[in-house]
Structure 1
Amino acid sequence: MVGNLLFLAALLSIWAMLLYHMFLAWGGYLYSNWVEQRKREPWPDREWPKVSILIPAHNEAIVIGNTLRAMVALDYPKDKLEVIVINDLSSDRTGEIVDQFAAQYPFVIPVHTKKPEGGKGKSGALNQGFRRSTGEFIAVYDADNTPERAAIKHLVHGMLEDDKVGAVVGKFRVVNARKNLLTRFINIETISFQWMAQAGRWHWFKLSTIPGTNFLIRRSVIEQVGGWDDNALAEDTELSIRLYEEGYDIRFYPLAITWEQEPETWKVWFKQRTRWARGNQYVIFKYVPRLFTMKRRRIVFDLVYFLFTYFLFLGGIILSHVLLILNVLGVIKMTLPGPFLLIWLLAYMLFIVEIWITLAIEKTELTLKNIGVVAIMYVSYSQLWLPLVIRSLWISAVAAVKKQEVKWDKTERFE
């Protein structure tokens, strides 16, 4: 009897997540129609405000040159632009490359950090870069990003349309999507759970979350919230919550596009996603105790979603796997009647249909090869989320007990 009830609870948690993401995909599809219409609108005749672009960089010699070439090529008045690269205690040629660009382009400004302030991670680097900046608006890009020429104009345009907006978020695409099977998985995941989930959340709830790259934020807002949290590995999500608490909205504006490099080996991917999971868990533990005292109800919804994802949904998947294995081994006997194989197949088909809808929006992505990749994604790539989250919880617990200091844990780049 207990086994039956536990299995039902696990099944409900899994289906709740699948249906929610299907709902977001529907909203994202509707929002994408609006985006297509906006593409044809001309730029307004306006005085463009000054923008400071912050690029935190720690041992980024492999990619920083391409990133700076993309910054130089931006379609934005150069007298209204400053590109601040925070070379945070790099031991490779990052600083040298940045200095070469700075010598050629006056709007490229190197900030070379020193101990003891330097080397403490992305948040610390961003805070140092912000202190050097002078722009009315602050944009942030990772060191492996190559934004499209109009990206900053789109972000600024999206900001100036609404005074209630404290930050504007663009979308990112995978530049090495066709490198191997892993990068194809990541590309599909990025389109489905970044582009489409962000679009769906904005369409239905006017809710969005700052990513780690390709976003614009008002200088006054950063000053108001006190900068980036030095202890946060997911500094973007943590900052998002503080913006909402101060009464600002975060707008998703996917016309602003950047291209970024993704991990090409499983080892690098696992390390990166473990860091992301730890960052989101930090946000949960920091803000869930304040759940009933927060000012903005919308961000409470997001926190509950994080809590559900990293604990209830995770528990539901683990529980369903364990119960099915024990039932097959004869350790327990499931007496609950029902077409459970059919229910699993329906969940699998829902997962596939949701992603196919998403890929159809990016017209170059609904290919036969990607359709095949999606078919195996559910039983392979998606299942790796389980050990990843469990490992991240363990590492976070050890770090908390040992009171370990946050340091750079950057993603390895590839030629």
Structure 2
Amino acid sequence: MTILDGFLFIAIFAIWAILIVNVILTIAGYAYYLKWSRTTPPTLPSAPPFVSIMVPAHNEGIVIVKTVQALLALDYPADRYEIIVINDNSSDNSADLLKALQQLHPDRNLTVVNTDKTNGGKGKSNALNIGLQHARGSVISIYDADNTPEHDALRYLVAELLSDDHYGAVIGKFRTRNKNATILTRFINVETLSFQWMAQAGRQQLFKLCTIPGTNYVIRRDLLEQIGGWDVKALSEDTEISFQVYARNYRIKFQPLAVTWEQEPQTLDVWFHQRTRWVKGNIYVVLKNAHKIFTKAGRHIRFDLIYFMSIYFLLMTSLILSDSVFVLSVAGVVHSDINGFSNGLWLTAVLAFVISTFVTITTEKSEMKFSNLLVIIAMYLIYSQMWLVVAAYWMVNYVREQVFHQQAKWYKTKRYK
């Protein structure tokens, strides 16, 4: 066996190991779904807690009105929640639109916090920390500016949070609002159902572990204050705050009944910048907490730390290597003795990916259609390669930022009407 074959064998083993883990998560997630579908929905107490809903918004004039209207229509006692929109150094018409909403609903607890370049425009974490200073609730809820939660979402989240004192936060499910806009949003729709909803359910089932997704969640205010708010250096403030919750011996519960619909990127450039920010943010959090892998303090997040490190380092490197060898061998540039073997495994991996992914979308009856089966096949062949480009771009930029001591900047995702 040549050195090339040795590296290729390691790459194939790594890819298959992670694929098997994801299949196991899918099976466990489906088991969670079956168990959850037979449970009685949680109910609010007669005197529900006061909730502060915070919405960070930077130049969100296109979507902010629809989001606030959805929040005003929530099935939660109107006098028991407030909405705080942090209009974060916006240069569009957001301030005027929000002021008009306040005038239209003078009897509602709708607060607009306008920041400028002196204290705002520094990313989502900074905006949330500013909003927290104005919040009155014992429970804090977060929604992104492009979200339209279903009317009962907040009620289910808060009821679940109150059902167990060990829950520090409760997260809901999010769906793709513009899934039919482009082939890219069709990919994202399946990705959301498979690698968000089902992966969260699988980790909940196996490890009582899940990660805050950045929107459609509630968290105890006193816990937030213990943590010290959101880390302003974290581009993925959701992953960071999740690890902080577990570090204080609280748990995060997943409640799929709480659903929000969010807008997803419709073009490659917007998707690329958003996903690059996600990768950068998650790697920052992983590296920040990597020392906890073999400590007692990190026992609750050990799986996530190893999983994220495997995905962002081992899997991405292995995929790039195996794809490169495949292309070069077809071109006749290199020769691998196990190339035929690897091609057989590749075809098997495609089948495993397609079958397991299609199983995940069967939990949503409206998604069980032949066109989605074709979308899933295309995802393996196209969408996964797009992620490789993101990973490669991140690796280059991460090295550059470390060498030149540059601070990663927050990228604002473009919205659509």
Q: Amino acid of the residue matched to residue 319 of structure 1?
A: L
| Distance in 2 separating the partners of 1:98 and 1:408 | 23
| Distance in 1 separating the partners of 2:155 and 2:217 | 12
Pick which of 54-63 and 263-272 moved more. 263-272
Q: Amino acid of the residue matched to residue 394 of structure 2?
A: S
Superposition misfits of 4+ residues, deviation over 6 angstroms = none
Q: Amino acid of the residue matched to residue 71 of structure 1?
A: L
Distance 1:225 1:44, change over 3 A: closer
- 1:338 deviates by 6.3
For residues 249-304 of structure 1, give each alpha carbon's deviation from its aligned partner in whole angstroms, at most 9, with x where no partner exists.
11111111000000111111111111111111111221113433451313022111
Map 1:63-78 to 2 at 5 A.
63-78=63-78
- 1:34 deviates by 2.6
Map 1:166-177 to 2 at 5 A.
166-177=168-179
Q: Amino acid of the residue matched to residue 110 of structure 2?
A: V
| Distance in 1 separating the partners of 2:402 and 2:7 | 31
Question: Taking every aligned residue pair, what percent have the same amino acid on both sides?
Answer: 46
Distance 1:183 1:6, change over 3 A: same
Cα pair 1:49 1:137 within 8 Å, conserved:
yes
Give the structure 1 partner of residue 54 of structure 2: 54
Correspondent of 2:241 among 228, 239, 242: 239
Q: Amino acid of the residue matched to residue 125 of structure 1?
A: A
* TM-score between the two structures when normalised by the length of structure 1: 0.96
Q: Amino acid of the residue matched to residue 6 of structure 1?
A: F
Q: Secondary structure at the match of 2:112?
A: strand
Q: Secondary structure at the match of 1:380?
A: helix
For residues 196-241 of structure 1, give each alpha carbon's deviation from its aligned partner in whole angstroms, at most 9, with x where no partner exists.
0000100111000011100100001100011000010000001111
Q: Secondary structure at the match of 2:265?
A: coil
Q: Say if 2:86 is the partner of 1:81.
A: no
Q: Amino acid of the residue matched to residue 127 of structure 1?
A: N
Distance 1:62 1:308, change over 3 A: same
Q: Amino acid of the residue matched to residue 12 of structure 1?
A: F
| Distance in 1 separating the partners of 2:331 and 2:377 | 28
| Distance in 2 separating the partners of 1:352 and 1:405 | 39
Unaligned stretches of 5+ in structure 2?
A: none
Q: Amino acid of the residue matched to residue 138 of structure 1?
A: I
- 1:96 deviates by 1.4
Give the structure 2 partner of residue 371 of structure 1: 373
Cα pair 2:190 2:361 within 8 Å, conserved:
yes
Cα pair 1:56 1:142 within 8 Å, conserved:
yes
Cα pair 2:95 2:114 within 8 Å, conserved:
yes
Cα pair 2:292 2:298 within 8 Å, conserved:
no
Cα pair 1:230 1:406 within 8 Å, conserved:
no
* TM-score between the two structures when normalised by the length of structure 2: 0.95
- 1:148 deviates by 0.5
Q: Amino acid of the residue matched to residue 142 of structure 1?
A: D
Give the structure 1 partner of residue 153 of structure 2: 151
| Distance in 1 separating the partners of 2:45 and 2:283 | 44
Give the structure 2 partner of residue 141 of structure 1: 143
Q: Amino acid of the residue matched to residue 29 of structure 2?
A: G
Q: Amino acid of the residue matched to residue 21 of structure 1?
A: N
Pick which of 334-343 and 312-321 moved more. 334-343
Distance 1:49 1:60, change over 3 A: same
Q: Secondary structure at the match of 1:295?
A: helix
Pick which of 306-315 and 51-60 moved more. 306-315
Give the structure 2 partner of residue 288 of structure 1: 290
Give the structure 2 partner of residue 325 of structure 1: 327
Pick which of 315-324 and 302-311 moved more. 315-324
Q: Say if 2:7 is the partner of 1:22.
A: no
- In the alignment of these two chains, the number of paired residues is 414
